[in-house]
Amino acid sequence: MTNEARMYPVVEYLIDVFGDWLKHRRELGELRELDDASFKQIASDLRVSPDDLTALVRKGPHSADELPKLLMALGIDQEKLARTEYLVLRDMERVCSLCNHKRQCDHDLAAGTSSAHYHQYCLNAATIDALGEAAGRKPAS
């Protein structure tokens, strides 16, 4: 990184955001170019419905960024989960991506209050509790 780039972190951030946006627009374009059979096959291969696949692509690559932070806040090892319960983790990512409570989740994560409040809005709460019980922890109330 050059000295000039370090002097303008906001500009660098905006360039990255714009680049991500362009990439996302390109992905949406590629999605629209697929014929129906190919699209349904991709959805089937990914084990999601075509409607979920459309929604997931529209949400973009950062739509489940809250999940690793929540798991960490709750003391769940995401790397271990990826090794032992890969499909469960993928489903949790899908659920998180499609969630409509991002603002509340982000607020609780920033405030450090996720463990006290996630049951109120997180659609992954039951899965998280089951993972905790399997690991010998009591679910949060």
Domain boundaries, the chain: 3-59, 66-134
pLDDT confidence of residue 34? 79
User: pLDDT (tens digit, 9 = 90+) per residue, 78-112?
Assistant: 999 999 998 899 899 999 999 999 999 999 999 99
Measure the CA–CA gap between 88 and 85, rounded to whole angstroms.
5
pLDDT confidence of residue 74? 93
Other C-beta atoms closer than 10 Å to the C-beta of 136 total 6
Contact 108, 118 (CB under 8 A): yes
Q: At a CB cut-off of 8 Å and minimum separation 6, what does 127 contact?
A: 88, 91, 92, 95
Q: What parts of the chain have a pLDDT lower than 50? A: none
pLDDT confidence of residue 44? 85
Contact 106, 118 (CB under 8 A): no
pLDDT confidence of residue 46? 77
Taking the model in full, what pTM does it have? 0.67
What are the DSSP E strand ranges found in 1-141? none
